Structures are given as structure tokens and as C-alpha cells.
Amino acid sequence: MTVVKNICCIGAGYVGGPTCAVLAYKCPDIKVTIVDLSEARIAAWNSDNLPIYEPGLDQVVFECRGKNLFFSTNVDAAIQEADLIFVSVNTPTKKTGMGAGMAADLAYVESATRRIAEVAKSSKIVVEKSTVPCRTAQSMRTILEANSTPEIHFDILSNPEFLAEGTAIKDLLNPDRVLIGALQTESGIEAQNALVDVYTHWVPKDRVITTNLWSSELSKLAANAMLAQRISSINALSAICEATGADVDEVAFACGKDTRLGSKFLKASVGFGGSCFQKDILNLVYLSQQLNLPEVADYWQQVVTMNEYQKKRFVRNIISTLFNTITNKKIAVLGFAFKKDTGDTRESAAITLIKDFMQENARVAIYDPKVEPQQIYMDLAEPGVLVGAQEQVEKKVQICQSAYEAADGADAVVIVTEWDEFRDDQLDYAKIYAGMNKPAFLYTKDTVTMDRIQQTSGAKSTQPTIPTTRITTKTAVRPTRASLARRDMVQKQKQQEQ
Ligand code: NAD
């Protein structure tokens, strides 16, 4: 029976960092070393200012760092020491060559695998943590086996990560499931059991699922595609709601009450963002095309197409309510990260929206509590611009230190990321309104905030009213607190009348 005592994680990013920090936290008997080629990233992991923001992460890292958790750029030494190696490197969508714009770029996975093959001096369990197309483990196995000797044997496992940024620590401490795929050979199953033993330090055994290697790889793409599909479905319905007078919150609530559907991920929005959904669906589309399944490819492609349509529709509605022109108007964008509680901006809807505002010659003021200005400049620069990106973007956008500064003199405020600090019980909307050009417009995808603003505005006649526009994209897994309260009141009245 193999017992894991020393783990190396290649890739200290959004997945490798939190995942292996929690592993070290929950397994004090295992030494965990997280390595990366980026010196800056490793230096940040070794500092008080961690390179990524994730609620609860500081506490976990500060508790174990220097005890059984280490961050290093010495990739080779960590590989040599480890019994088990997680490969948690980036797998972005390919930009050029065959499959450009769709297929996952596996260059980083391949280079990490080749490094393991080159420097390993003892047998290893190699775990594919990155999200990869189905059957990538086969290529990894070929590379590793070409370098194996009678003394050195490699087993490959697939252990895709299901954490969501913003709730990573919570998800890792209490996962819905952990999935471990292995080749169904004697040594494959032994390696699988060794990783099961690591996770069962804190995850109940019935939540650790073991499958064959290919099912595990495909399940990750399938889960992300299905989650994104629900968002695109409710967003498609939100367009129908606006055209018919139906309320998407109510439709989502009514549908979500069906236990076969459930309420999660039925939240209409400006569109999904983040580094995974779009990339993984396109990955699945490409896989379907390669397998000569064009109808299947078209089906999943539509989920992405719908998402792009939703973002465009949001912008169109903003422009049309602002009297069909935003030229020289100041638009305050609150939030730039792809969702709250993360500083990650990859594929954030904010990027598309702001680029569209810039195209229309609007003046854009941006505030986000966790995204660094440098990141915003990079994201908004024209593709390929690495030098002078800041100067180029600075001409058109202003990056602000607070929501009040961004909204000062603005014609419209657009809440793109639902950070808690933009809720109406945290932000003084009367003050925001007072500083804005009139008529002032507020656009939000969060009906909770909006309903409460409307309610407050209605309740206190002295309070200034911001003319809110119920744009395209209203939330709703469930009705808002305000509408629930209204519904309860109506029901009570009816009961009293009876
Ligand atoms: P990331 O870009 O934040 O981190 C990847 C890190 O790997 C980088 O710091 C990079 O420098 C490092 N790296 C690349 N090649 C290397 C090499 N050969 N040796 C050492 N270090 C190397 O990416 P991420 O968001 O952590 O994602 C990693 C993988 O996990 C991807 O496949 C992604 O699809 C998947 N995933 C991401 C999430 C998420 O929410 N971000 C969730 C689940 C799965």
C-alpha cells in the first residue's frame, strides 16, 4: 500500500495555491511544496501580501507556511522529493495554430510533464489537476513512460478541481465531491487509493468518487458546460421576459422550485465570465468537432454564443436608455473582477462592456476593491499591446479609489460585479445620486439592490430617487427579499379577507 508523505504541486495559481494550502492545513503529516516558474508569484506567496485574494486563504497559508507548506521556484528539487505531484498549470484557449480560439493550449502541461520525466529519480504518482481535454492523460503517460526505467515507474491520476473562485477555501474544506480517475490496472488502482487516503484526512469517504481516467477528465468539462448552459438558458429567457412583460426573477423562482431543476445557477446576469466556463465549453466544442460530432459541437457552441449576445444586449440597452448616445458621457463602472470576492479578471464581462463604452467614445470611470490598476490597463489594452498599454488606456478611462469618486459627475452608474460593498445598505446611494449628472441612471444586474433602492426611495419622499432602469439582466435564483415580503403581505391579506 502506497502512503503519500511528500507532495509537490507544479503551478502556484488560483487552483494550485489554495488547493494545496488546504491540503497542507488538513494533513499536517504531509509535506507540501508548491512550485512555480514565476519568481514574482512565489515571492508573493512567501510574503504577507498573497498573490491572489480569496476569503479565508490568508489564515490557512499563515497557519502552515514554514511548517509543512512551502513555496519555491526550485521545481526540480520539489519533483525529486515528492511521492505525488499535482500538475496544476494553466491551460488557456489556444491563440494560434490548429484549434485556435477553441482547443486548450496544453504546452504548459506538456512542459511540466517533460520536466517530471527528466528529473525524477524515483517512482511518482502524477496527478492531472489542470482542466484538460479528455484523453490528455494518455499523452502524459506516453511522455512519462518513454522515460521510465525498471526502477522508476509513473502512475497517472486525474483529479479535476471543482472549486469556484471567491469561495475556494469553503469549497475545498467542504467539497460536494472529490473526483479521482485512474487507469483500471493494479498499480493505477493502488495510486488511486493512495490519493483517496490523502483526501479522506478531511473529506467524508462517500464524497470521494473513483472512476476510470477518461470519465474523470470528461466530467470536469461536462460539469462546467452544464453550469454555464443554465446561465445561458436563463439569460435567453430574460430576453423573452423583457419582450413579454414576464419577470425573469419570478420565472427563475418558479422553475427553480422544481426539484428536478433546482434553484442554483438560474441567475440572470450580464453573462458569465471567469477563466473556466468559456474556455472549457470551447474545449468541449473542439473535442466534439474532432470526434466528428458537428451537431453536438453546435449545441455547446450556442451556450457561448448566447453569452456574447447577453453582453451586447446589456450595452445596447444602456445606450438606448441614455438617449441613444453615450459620446462624452461619463459612465461609472463599479466592479471589474469577473465576480465578487476575487481579484481575477479573466473573461470578466466588465472588459467587454467597457471596451464597447470606449468604442462609443464614452468617458469611463472604474472602481473595483480588489483589482490592481495595472491589471485593468492590461485587460483594456488592444490585443498584443504590452508596452504603453497604460498610456493608451488612460486616455479613455479613469481608475478610481472609491465608488463615490467614480460616480462623481457621471451620467450613469453600472454595477458589473456584485461586491457586497455596492449593496444599498453599504453604499450611500443618496450621496452617489447627489454627485451625478441629472437625469442620473443606475444599471445593475442585481435586483436585490435595485428593489431595495426603489423601496427606500419610495418610502422616504425626501430621499432623492435615482431613475433605475431594469435592464436586460436581472437576477434571480429566488425572488428578492423585497418581493418576497410583498408576496407574504398579499398572502396574509388574502387569508385575512377569507
Ligand atoms: P493560473 O494561471 O492562475 O496558474 C497557473 C500557474 O502555473 C502560473 O503561475 C504559471 O506560472 C505556472 N506554470 C505554468 N507552467 C509551469 C511549469 N512548467 N512549471 C512551473 N509552473 C508553471 O491558472 P489557474 O487558474 O490556477 O488554473 C490552473 C488549471 O486549473 C487550469 O487548467 C484551469 O482550467 C483549472 N481550473 C481553474 C479553476 C479556477 O477557478 N481558476 C477552477 C478549476 C480548475
Q: What pLDDT shows up at residue 147?
A: 85
Residue 36, annotated as binding a ligand: yes
| pLDDT classification of 469: cutoffs 50, 70, 90 | very low
* Residues 432-443: b if buried by 16+ CB within 10 A, e if exposed: bbeebeeebbbb
Q: What is the pLDDT of residues 440-451, one digit of tens each?
A: 999 986 433 333
Q: Which residues contact 421 (CB under 8 A, 6 or more apart)?
A: 369, 403, 427
Residue 277, annotated as binding a ligand: yes
Instruction: For ligand 1, atom 32, name the residue with the nearest CA.
Output: 130
Q: Give the residue, out of 33, 37, 90, 339, with the most ligand 1 atoms within 8 A of its beta carbon, to mutate for a pocket test.
A: 90
d(CA 465, CA 456): 9
Q: Is the pLDDT of residue 460 over 90?
A: no
Q: Is the pLDDT of residue 491 over 80?
A: no
Instruction: For ligand 1, atom 27, name the residue with the nearest CA.
Output: 90
Residue 165, annotated as binding a ligand: yes
DSSP code for 9: E
d(CA 62, CA 21): 10
Q: What is the pLDDT of residues 397-437, one digit of tens each?
A: 999 999 999 999 999 999 999 999 999 899 999 999 999 99
**Average pLDDT for the chain:** 89
Domains 6-203 and 244-481 share a fold: yes
DSSP code for 213: H
Q: What pLDDT shows up at residue 390?
A: 78
Q: Return the H-helix or E-strand segment holding 17.
A: helix 16-26
Q: What pLDDT shows up at residue 461?
A: 29
Q: What is the pLDDT of residues 309-354, one digit of tens each?
A: 999 999 999 999 999 999 999 999 999 999 999 999 999 999 999 9
d(CA 188, CA 86): 16
Give strand pairing partners of 181.
158, 211
- Residue 47 CB neighbour total at 10 angstroms: 10
d(CA 168, CA 18): 7
Q: Give the residue, out of 57, 85, 89, with the most ligand 1 atoms within 8 A of its beta carbon, to mutate for a pocket test.
A: 89
Contact 18/63 with Cβ under 8 angstroms?
Answer: no
Residue 244, annotated as binding a ligand: no
- CATH number of the domain at 244-481, please? 3.40.50.720
Number of H helices, E strands in the chain: 19, 13
- Domain locations in the chain as residue ranges: 6-203, 244-481
Contact 162/220 with Cβ under 8 angstroms?
Answer: yes
Residue 253, annotated as binding a ligand: no
134 is catalytic: no
Q: What is the pLDDT of residues 4-14, one digit of tens each?
A: 999 999 999 99
Q: What pLDDT shows up at residue 32?
A: 98
Q: What is the pLDDT of residues 42-88, one digit of tens each?
A: 999 999 999 999 999 999 999 999 999 999 999 999 999 999 999 99
Closest to 416 (Cα-Cα) out of 483, 345, 359, 321: 345
Ligand 1 atom with the smallest distance to the CA of 111 is: 18
Q: What pLDDT shows up at residue 465?
A: 42
CA atoms within 13 A on the CB side of 17: 23
| Cis bond before residue 439 (omega within 30° of 0) | yes
Q: Which residues contact 381 (CB under 8 A, 6 or more apart)?
A: 389, 392, 393
Beta strand spans in 239-345 (E): 330-334
Give strand pairing partners of 444.
415
Instruction: For ligand 1, atom 37, name the residue with the nearest CA.
Output: 15
Q: How remote is the CA of residue 485 from the centroid of ligand 1, in Å?
A: 44
Q: What pLDDT shows up at residue 490?
A: 47
List ligand 1's pocket residues with C-beta within 6 A. 10-16, 35-38, 41, 75, 88-91, 108, 111-112, 130-131, 161, 163, 165, 275-276
Full-model pTM: 0.89
Domain 6-203 class in CATH: alpha beta
Q: What pLDDT shows up at residue 483?
A: 42
Q: How remote is the CA of residue 171 from the centroid of ligand 1, in Å?
A: 18
Q: Which residues contact 246 (CB under 8 A, 6 or more apart)?
A: 240
d(CA 32, CA 8): 6
From 20, 27, 64, 276, the catalytic residue: 276
Q: What is the pLDDT of residues 211-245, one digit of tens each?
A: 999 999 999 999 999 999 999 999 999 999 989 99
